[in-house]
Structure 1
Amino acid sequence: MIWNRAAIYGANGGIGSALTHALAADGTRILAGSRKGDGPDLQGVSRFAFDLADEDSIAASAALLATDPPDLVIVATGVLTLPDGSGPERSLKHVDPSVMDAIFRLNTIGPALIAKHVLPLLSRDAQSCFVALSARVGSISDNRIGGWHSYRASKAALNMLIRNFAIEMHRTHNKAIIAALHPGTVDTQLSKPFQSNLPQGQLTMADSAARNLLNVLTHLTPEDSGKIFDYKGEEIAS
């Protein structure tokens, strides 16, 4: 599918930037959002600022989309390690309520607020797609080793919200696709502290990850709404 107009939240991150470049190269008109409004400076790309922790800024960004709504919205935001260095908990004794609150605010609540303001803008008559980047570790049934409590839980909660939003949107927008995507382990700042122990060949470059994700999107249908898929297009159990 050729996307006419896309909105990307988190367009200055590793995957978000790569997605912006890939879509722009395909001729898609893009609104690229970042906290400072400093996303990629490319032809056909307009930039805007938003803050995941500020609903008013998210509502303002949706107002920018309202006059010419996108047919593709990608929430490419997410955090694994906080700016102060607080990283994934390896044990329950490391659970810190302030860290957990911050992780959930960025990985779950922020994307939910974007959905709140953007999903109603999608067309009721033509196919459209809203996707959020999630993670395989958010799968409850696939969890074999535990740990990373806040990150896992925040992504599991995001996956549940995607399912909820898909059910609700189907009542009024039955051509819309609401899904979560797992990009794999990508060479970005998010994964940088954890790359040393990766098996050879498991790390994917951001531009390749972007193309993988866009390829998955081209094969999704409204029947796939509410599900989580990996970068190969395979469904991940919740």
Structure 2
Amino acid sequence: MSASAKASAVIIGASGGIGGALEAALIEEGAFAVVHGFARSRKGAQHLDLLDEASIAAAAAHVASGPAPNLVIVATGLLHAGGRGPEKALRDLDPDWLAQLYAVNAIGPALVAKHFLPIMPRQGRTLFAALSARVGSIGDNRLGGWHGYRASKAALNMLVRTLAIEERRRNDRAIVVALHPGTVDTALSRPFQGNVPDGRLFDAERAALQLLDVIEGLKTPDSGKLFDFQGEEVPF
């Protein structure tokens, strides 16, 4: 991926499968002066908890003390935890679980944008991306179910659209997008891999490289949209 050697890159969720692979790929590529990896499980300056805005602000301040970031990727997501998972029917809706899904999948990335977009350059190509999901597409929803996950990712998609409009006023070459990585062999998707077609289950390293290829090809008019791992636009 082409980038200025004077710029930095930021990966939020670097302890996860995709996030860790993205961090490793960017470090190996060597196109950035610094690659910052943040995660809830990391300590010190690398700690960032999406549910704790103070930790997000601290992480942004740490990045701002060095080369400005022209690439920020939020590689986080919640689909199941603590015995809870996607709802199969309306009767399964639970307000606490819905709130948790929104907190991680939509509110957290929005707070990252709140603190990181202002420290990105005001001129030149910059890119802020958040991992979304095809099942968050309202236009592509033909099966129903998975209410909370779908709705929280749809909320993320709308936030990306509105953030893109505002960021364009600050930097007319800024790109803000949502990315669908496909089904990746990580803890998030593992319970749901049974029906994945042959050749459509990616290891994290391949998924990371596919996403970086998509990012490389994005242009300013693509800002505010959702793209899959092949670079194809997915309808919101």
TM superposition score normalised by structure 2? 0.95
Give how far 1:129 is off.
0.5
Structure 1 counterpart of 2:27, which letter? A
How many matched pairs?
Answer: 230
Q: How does 1:68-147 map to 2 (within 5 A)?
A: 68-82=67-81, 84-147=82-145
Q: Deviation per CA, 1:82-130, whole angstroms, max 9, x where unpaired?
A: 2x11000010100000000001100000000000011111111121100
Q: How does 1:169-180 map to 2 (within 5 A)?
A: 169-180=167-178
**Alignment match, 1:26:** 29
Q: Deviation per CA, 1:165-221, whole angstroms, max 9, x where unpaired?
A: 000111111111100000000000000111123222221111000000000001111
Structure 2 counterpart of 1:14, which letter? G
* Secondary structure of 1:8's aligned partner: strand
Q: How does 1:138-157 map to 2 (within 5 A)?
A: 138-157=136-155
**Alignment match, 1:236:** 234
Preserved contact between residue 32 and residue 47 of structure 1 (Cα < 8 Å): no
Q: Where does the alignment leave 5 or more consecutive residues of structure 1 unmatched?
A: 39-45
Q: Deviation per CA, 1:46-100, whole angstroms, max 9, x where unpaired?
A: 9600111100010101101113221100000101002x11000010100000000
Q: For the structure 1 residues 112 and 155, does the alpha-carbon distance in structure 2 shift closer, same or farther, using more than 3 Å as the test?
A: same
Query: Comparing 118-127 with 137-146, which one deviates more in the overlay?
Result: 118-127
**Alignment match, 1:161:** 159
**Alignment match, 1:207:** 205
Mapped to 2, the partners of 1:233 and 1:205 lie a distance apart of 18
**Alignment match, 2:12:** 9
* Secondary structure of 1:72's aligned partner: strand
Structure 2 counterpart of 1:94, which letter? D
Mapped to 2, the partners of 1:228 and 1:184 lie a distance apart of 12
Preserved contact between residue 14 and residue 23 of structure 2 (Cα < 8 Å): yes
Mapped to 2, the partners of 1:88 and 1:230 lie a distance apart of 21
Mapped to 2, the partners of 1:21 and 1:14 lie a distance apart of 11
Structure 2 counterpart of 1:2, which letter? S
Mapped to 2, the partners of 1:130 and 1:47 lie a distance apart of 21
Structure 1 counterpart of 2:219, which letter? T
Structure 1 counterpart of 2:114, which letter? K
Mapped to 1, the partners of 2:183 and 2:45 lie a distance apart of 27
Preserved contact between residue 45 and residue 62 of structure 2 (Cα < 8 Å): no
Mapped to 2, the partners of 1:167 and 1:55 lie a distance apart of 23
* Secondary structure of 1:71's aligned partner: strand
Mapped to 1, the partners of 2:196 and 2:175 lie a distance apart of 33
Query: Comparing 198-207 with 165-174, which one deviates more in the overlay?
Result: 198-207
Mapped to 1, the partners of 2:45 and 2:129 lie a distance apart of 19
| Structure 1: 4+ residue segments shifted above 3 A | none
Mapped to 2, the partners of 1:189 and 1:47 lie a distance apart of 25
Preserved contact between residue 51 and residue 58 of structure 1 (Cα < 8 Å): yes
Structure 2 counterpart of 1:220, which letter? L
Preserved contact between residue 184 and residue 207 of structure 2 (Cα < 8 Å): yes
